[in-house]
Amino acid sequence: MEEALEDLHGLIWEAARGFKSDCLITTRAYLALAEKAARRLSDHAVDEDEEKRVRAACDFSERFCRRQKKWEVVLSFLVKFWSGFEDGFFERTHPIDAAKHYELGYELGRYGLNKWGRHGR
């Protein structure tokens, strides 16, 4: 799972790099690859609980990104959210000054839908 999350982060960073270079084709291509990589994370789950947490995170991430109108908001969200998810999933330390999207990812990674209920907060 850790290697798959590293790959996902790499794709998100490449999308951000494409955006900084004013190349929306590159940005869109890497974001599409990142979306597919996020969906494949559930293949690495060791049990049903992990699979549910990964799917919940993917669903939340997709819904959030599709509602946004600015690429910089999407990219900022993806970096923070998936970093938080990874830290929560592997039960790493939660920073005191964590951003909102990091916190959402962290909680989904650590607790899944059990804490939030079926439809989120």
Q: Are 37 and 7 in contact (CB under 8 A)?
A: yes
Judged against a pLDDT cut of 90, whether residue 74 lies above it is answered with yes
pLDDT (tens digit per residue) in 6-53: 999 999 999 999 999 999 999 999 999 999 999 999 999 888 988 988
Question: How far is the C-alpha of 73 from the C-alpha of 115, rounded, in Å?
Answer: 26
Find, among 121, 31, 46, 48, the residue nearest to 82 by Cα: 31
